[in-house]
Amino acid sequence: MSIVKCNHCHLEFNPNVMIKDGNLNFCCKGCQGVYHILKDDGLDSFYDKLGNKTIAPPLEVSNDDLSKFDSKNFLDNYSSTTKEGFTQIDLIIEGIHCAACVWLNEKILYETKGIVEANINFTSNKARIVWDSDKLKLSEIILKIRSIGYNAYAYDSSVADAQASKAKRDYFIRMMVAVIASMNIMMLSVAKYTGFFTGISEEVKNMIHIGEFILSTPVLFYSGWIFFKGGYYGLKNRMVNMDFLVASGSTLTYTYSMFILFGAKGESYFDSVSMIITFVLVGKYLEVIGKKSAVDTLDKIKSSLPLEAVVIQDDTKKVVALNSIKLDDVIEIKAGDKVPVDGIISKGEGFFDESTLTGESIPVYKKIGDSVFSGTINSNSLIEYKVTKDFKNSTFSSIVTLLEDSLNSKPKIQTQAAQISRYFSLTILSLALSTFLVWYFLGLDLGFNYAGANHFEKSFIVAISVIVIACPCALALATPMASLVGISELAKKGLLFKEAKFIESLAVANKVVFDKTGTLTKGELNVVKMRVLDDNIHKLNLLYSILCASTHPVSISIKNYLKEKYALTEKKLDNVKNIEAKGMSAAYTNIEGKTFELLGGNLELLKQNDIHYKFDSNKTVYLFAINKKVIATFELEDEIKDNAKDLIEFLQNKNIEVIMLTGDNENVASNIAKQLGIKSYLSYQTPISKAQYVKELRKQDNVVVMVGDGVNDSVALSSADVAIAMGNSADVALAISDVVLLNSSLKSLKDAFLISMKTYKFIKQNLAISLIYNTVTIPLAMAGLVIPLFAALSMSLSSLIVVLNSLRIKMK
Amino acid sequence: MINDTLFFMLIVGIIISAGMLLIFVWAARSGQFDDSSKMVNGLLFDSTEDLNDAINKEKNLKEAKSEKLKSEVEKLKEE
């Protein structure tokens, strides 16, 4: 059987299910509608731009909420007025998959009369729209976007976002200036260093120095400004930080090179100045990008909450903005709605999808008196509930607030290399200072002669040469070089480290905290045991039919399991009833007119129907009965991931304590922990209690690694030393994490530990090499005995050794 | 003589690259590099139609601004 592509979304389907429209095939009404709109508006070049890519079929959105976009309340909250008198709003566009989608949305907006500016950011899916409110209503703009199969949400564009964007742009320009200038300096350096071997005239060498001077000046004072600022604030807080050392080291080297440029004898090191600043700046830029994308995902999450809620007051319904909901208000939510604020159900009962909070995919049944939490989804019924917490203090909002806070106060990891280099650099600075004082006041002269320099200058040059020879070069390269090789090795195994420093933290970690669902287990129920007491195919067909009538994860899982084992057909059932939290009942009438009573569900359902069936199991159970006789039993369980046991054993052998936190119940938690050999676990954990646990561990001076995958883990992830997320995690978890396991496999997590430990060993080796080198050369420099050529060569040599040593990480 | 030429070329080279850098800084400041994914894909949209669209966008923006200004002025006059 061949498959056919849908003409709009390019997804492939069986030809039987397609809607035929002339020569065209569509997978759904939505695709067909959008295709014709584009054709009529002359926008069909969208399909050329789309090429072979596929997009998601258009979202089905009802348009009855459009009026809220024009309410004064809404516009006051979300839009602003530009200085020209236009109205401006920030939206998040849902459904953007490719550049062609961005093009299409911008195009259709620009062709709408009254829209002045429509700029969609492809990376963050945020759009800024400026329009003339006299000519066009916001609802018309939203309708336009919806008509081509996308949807738009308003979001509160936060201060954090504006700051992050500004910082990103600023760092980008500074970094590019440094990179471009450094590249040019490197080209000049090639000429200079070749001159050492082939001979070079003083005049040409001076020319190169002038060129290097011109190029390195903006690098030090424009790009390096960040380090001056950082160092200044550090000193203000009585701290000598890395920024201060980069700034002072490069400024001194720069000054020394200036002396050389203006006639003193020796080698200039403008190239080292710009290289150090460029390398460190690139690292900082990556941090800034990471922060910006985290802010973007947080905005996306915030926009996923409804903007308003229906409040019932004295039998009348009123639409109210979330901020103005008061305690004890009664709120009504329809099926499929997100719960806007926390509360207690006062009317109705039904299933709630709490996966954002607990990580469990199975909906939770709730009745009158149970509490509901914001951010969860009401799956199937009309519910009224009493508000117990206002918007700001509700579960979902407090998670978002916690995450925002953690972005600004991400635990500072003091890596060992940073610590060593701090003491080292302080030592060097004081050595240089004392060298200067000794030379200047004691008038020491060991016979080394700087042409044309007076006594002060001479002492100064010797002092600086101490710093230059002890140049942070090898030391500064010790960690980054090894980390760089380590990171590329890790990337080959599908491990994405966002910053190099996490390699070291991972290598020295002594506690690893795991989330259960989705991390240690697969996060989906699978049939582990089936017993069929009567395998008459007609009876199994009835079982299959009752399974098909339900959308509960248990039914779906059993259905898929049965489909693989038997050839089954669906029969028409009558009187299908969904019994909340228990199962389903239905009736079937065969050709002879005989009626069968069908029951499918858990033990309680059978008990309710007077079937007393003995069945002992600590797993999820599904039973099927025809006319009160049990036909088949199933046991389901969330399966443990491959290699999980292996990983836990490995960690415990390395004396790393493993802890499991789960939102699931005690029974399941203890069962999984026993299977994996995990000694400590905590059940019934909320997102916030998980985070508190991690923070508590960190307070006791542990280096904590948190491994998780869901929105519910994100707060805990953000408070750990190293946050590791599975590749298929929720957006926030990915944005907040430091390491991503692209293939979500636990085997690569083991690799992450192994390679990090190996890399850390090499970092320590590199540090040792550069320290030994320095203890030999610094006394020489202090004595003023360093010959310029030797200084230049040995500096390159020490760096080279560090680089070559780091490359050994690649070797088995 | 050779050294003079060398020096001249060095300075000219630095001036040219400084010019390029300034253009880059201007572009970055005006927000053209804010969206990395869009920037990369921008290369694909360079047909005549797309270029005309870009010009029209600028023109419409200018027109809308002057129109708005006029209507504001009229509003003020009425008052």
Q: Measure CB to CB from residue B45 to each of A49, A165, A210 and give the nearest one.
A: A49
The reported pLDDT for the residue numbered B50 is 79
Closest CA to A520 of A358, A640, A664: A640
**What's the mean pLDDT in A255-273?**
79
**What's the mean pLDDT in A278-307?**
76
Of the residues A515, A664, A709, A721, only one is catalytic, namely A515
**Which stretch of A389-398, A459-468, A557-566 has the lowest confidence by average pLDDT?**
A459-468
DSSP letter for each residue of A213-257: HHHHHHIIIIITHHHHHHHHHHHHTT---HHHHHHHHHHHHHHHH
The reported pLDDT for the residue numbered B20 is 92
Q: How many residues does chain B have?
A: 79
* Contact (Cβ atoms closer than 8 angstroms) between residue A91 and residue A152: yes
SS3 (DSSP) at A286:
helix
Q: What's the Rg (C-alpha) of chain A?
A: 33
A587 pLDDT more than 90: no
Q: Measure CB to CB from residue B41 to each of A99, A134, A204 and give the nearest one.
A: A99
Q: Which amino acid is at A164?
A: A
A536 — pLDDT class (breaks 50, 70, 90): confident
* Contact (Cβ atoms closer than 8 angstroms) between residue A624 and residue A531: no
* Contact (Cβ atoms closer than 8 angstroms) between residue A517 and residue A360: yes
A223 pLDDT more than 80: yes
Give this prediction's pTM. 0.70
Name, of A198-202, A219-223, A483-487, A545-549, the range with top average pLDDT.
A219-223
The reported pLDDT for the residue numbered A791 is 64
A39 pLDDT more than 70: yes
Closest CA to A428 of A458, A459, A465: A465
Mention every residue, 6+ apart, whose C-beta is less than 8 A from residue A488.
none
Neighboring chain B residues of A211 at a CB cutoff of 8 Å: 10, 14
A728 — pLDDT class (breaks 50, 70, 90): confident
The reported pLDDT for the residue numbered A449 is 52
Neighboring chain A residues of B36 at a CB cutoff of 8 Å: 123
The reported pLDDT for the residue numbered A412 is 54
**What CA–CA distances, in Å, run from A692 to A404, A407, A795?**
16, 16, 48
**What's the mean pLDDT in A332-340?**
82
The reported pLDDT for the residue numbered A632 is 86
Distance from CA of A129 to the nearest CA of B (A): 13
The reported pLDDT for the residue numbered A154 is 80
Q: How many residues does chain A have?
A: 812
A476 pLDDT more than 80: no
Residues B2 and A802: their CA atoms lie apart, in Å, by: 39
Distance from CA of B20 to the nearest CA of A (A): 10
**What's the mean pLDDT in A618-644?**
83
A222 — pLDDT class (breaks 50, 70, 90): very high
Query: How many other C-beta atoms lie within 10 A of the C-beta of residue A109?
Result: 19
Q: Which amino acid is at A581?
A: A
A730 — pLDDT class (breaks 50, 70, 90): confident
What residue has token string 């002492």? A459
Share of chain A above pLDDT 70, in %: 91
Distance from CA of B17 to the nearest CA of A (A): 9
A318 — pLDDT class (breaks 50, 70, 90): confident
- State the average pLDDT for chain A: 80
A359 — pLDDT class (breaks 50, 70, 90): low
A608 — pLDDT class (breaks 50, 70, 90): confident
Does the active-site annotation cover A515? Answer: yes
Nearest CA in chain A to B63: A116
DSSP letter for each residue of A263-277: T-SS---HHHHHHHH
The sign of the dihedral angle between the CA atoms of A754, A757, A758, A759 is positive
Q: Which residue has the higher pLDDT, A455 or A116?
A: A116
In tens, the pLDDT along B1-54 reads: 678 888 899 999 999 999 999 999 999 988 888 877 777 777 777 778 778 888
In tens, the pLDDT along A733-748 reads: 777 888 888 878 888 8
**Which stretch of A114-123, A325-334, A409-418 has the lowest confidence by average pLDDT?**
A409-418
The reported pLDDT for the residue numbered B19 is 93
A640 pLDDT more than 80: yes
- Extract the tokens encoding A312: 């019932």
The reported pLDDT for the residue numbered A179 is 92
In a mutagenesis test of the A interface, which of B2, B8, B14, B48 is the best target, namely the one with the most A β-carbons within 10 Å? B14
A218 — pLDDT class (breaks 50, 70, 90): very high
The reported pLDDT for the residue numbered A659 is 92
The sign of the dihedral angle between the CA atoms of A501, A502, A506, A511 is positive
* Contact (Cβ atoms closer than 8 angstroms) between residue A283 and residue A488: no
The reported pLDDT for the residue numbered A543 is 84
Residues A605 and A504: their CA atoms lie apart, in Å, by: 54
Name, of A208-212, A337-341, A356-360, A524-528, the range with top average pLDDT.
A208-212
Nearest CA in chain A to B2: A204
* Contact (Cβ atoms closer than 8 angstroms) between residue A543 and residue A631: yes
**What's the mean pLDDT in A604-611?**
81
Q: Are A86 and B14 an interchain contact pair (Cβ–Cβ within 8 Å)?
A: no
Neighboring chain A residues of B30 at a CB cutoff of 8 Å: none
Neighboring chain A residues of B21 at a CB cutoff of 8 Å: 176-177, 180
A407 — pLDDT class (breaks 50, 70, 90): low
The reported pLDDT for the residue numbered A312 is 85
In tens, the pLDDT along A144-175 reads: 888 888 888 887 766 777 888 888 899 999 99
- Extract the tokens encoding A507: 């290598």
Q: Are B21 and A180 an interchain contact pair (Cβ–Cβ within 8 Å)?
A: yes
The reported pLDDT for the residue numbered A582 is 77
Neighboring chain B residues of A45 at a CB cutoff of 8 Å: 47, 49
Nearest CA in chain B to A174: B25
**Side-chain half-sphere exposure of A468, counting CA atoms within 13 A:** 32
SS3 (DSSP) at B45:
coil
Mention every residue, 6+ apart, whose C-beta is less than 8 A from residue A644.
A520, A521, A676, A746
B59 pLDDT more than 80: yes
Q: Parallel, antiparallel, or unpaired for β A620-626 and A511-515?
A: unpaired
CA angle A175, A178, A182 (to 5 degrees): 140
- A338: which DSSP letter? B
A475 — pLDDT class (breaks 50, 70, 90): low
A320 pLDDT more than 70: yes
- Extract the tokens encoding A681: 């676990």
The reported pLDDT for the residue numbered A409 is 59
The reported pLDDT for the residue numbered A181 is 93
In tens, the pLDDT along A658-675 reads: 999 887 778 888 888 888
**Which stretch of A569-578, A783-792, B47-56 has the lowest confidence by average pLDDT?**
A783-792
A711 pLDDT more than 60: yes
- Extract the tokens encoding B22: 């300034």
A135 pLDDT more than 60: yes
Q: How far is CA A47 from the centre of its chain?
A: 31
A15 — pLDDT class (breaks 50, 70, 90): confident
Interface predicted TM-score (ipTM) of this complex, two decimals: 0.83
> E strands within A470-609?
495-497, 511-515, 521-532, 574-579, 583-589, 595-601
- A801: which DSSP letter? H
Question: What backbone phi and psi angles, to 5 degrees, belong to A545?
Answer: -65, -40
The reported pLDDT for the residue numbered B70 is 83
Q: How far is CA B31 from the centre of its chain?
A: 9
In a mutagenesis test of the A interface, which of B51, B68, B71 is the best target, namely the one with the most A β-carbons within 10 Å? B68
Q: Which amino acid is at A760?
A: Y
* Contact (Cβ atoms closer than 8 angstroms) between residue A766 and residue A478: yes
Q: What's the Rg (C-alpha) of chain B?
A: 22
Q: Are A86 and B68 an interchain contact pair (Cβ–Cβ within 8 Å)?
A: yes
* Contact (Cβ atoms closer than 8 angstroms) between residue A271 and residue A212: yes
Mention every residue, 6+ apart, whose C-beta is less than 8 A from residue A187.
none
A215 — pLDDT class (breaks 50, 70, 90): very high
In tens, the pLDDT along A418-462 reads: 677 677 777 877 888 888 888 887 765 555 555 445 677 777 777
The reported pLDDT for the residue numbered A433 is 86
Q: Which amino acid is at A386?
A: K
Residues A452 and A441: their CA atoms lie apart, in Å, by: 20
Question: What backbone phi and psi angles, to 5 degrees, belong to A196?
Answer: -60, -35
CA angle A252, A255, A261 (to 5 degrees): 145
Q: Are A132 and B21 an interchain contact pair (Cβ–Cβ within 8 Å)?
A: no
Q: Is A581 left (phi over 0), alpha (psi -120 to 50) or beta?
A: left
3-state secondary structure string, A18-84? CEEECCEEECCHHHHHHHHHHHHCCCCHHHHHHCCCCCCCCCCCCCCCHHHHHCHHHHHHHEEECCC
Q: Parallel, antiparallel, or unpaired for β A722-726 and A79-81?
A: unpaired
Residues A323 and A325: their CA atoms lie apart, in Å, by: 6
The reported pLDDT for the residue numbered A418 is 65
Neighboring chain B residues of A134 at a CB cutoff of 8 Å: 71
Q: Are A85 and B14 an interchain contact pair (Cβ–Cβ within 8 Å)?
A: no
Question: What backbone phi and psi angles, to 5 degrees, belong to A151?
Answer: -140, 155
The reported pLDDT for the residue numbered A211 is 92
Residues A188 and A127: their CA atoms lie apart, in Å, by: 45
The reported pLDDT for the residue numbered B25 is 92
A402 — pLDDT class (breaks 50, 70, 90): confident
Residues A725 and A710: their CA atoms lie apart, in Å, by: 8
Residues A767 and A428: their CA atoms lie apart, in Å, by: 15
A705 — pLDDT class (breaks 50, 70, 90): very high
DSSP letter for each residue of A602-652: -HHHHHHTT-------SSEEEEEEETTEEEEEEEEEEEEPTTHHHHHHHHH
Q: Are B6 and A207 an interchain contact pair (Cβ–Cβ within 8 Å)?
A: yes
The reported pLDDT for the residue numbered B22 is 93
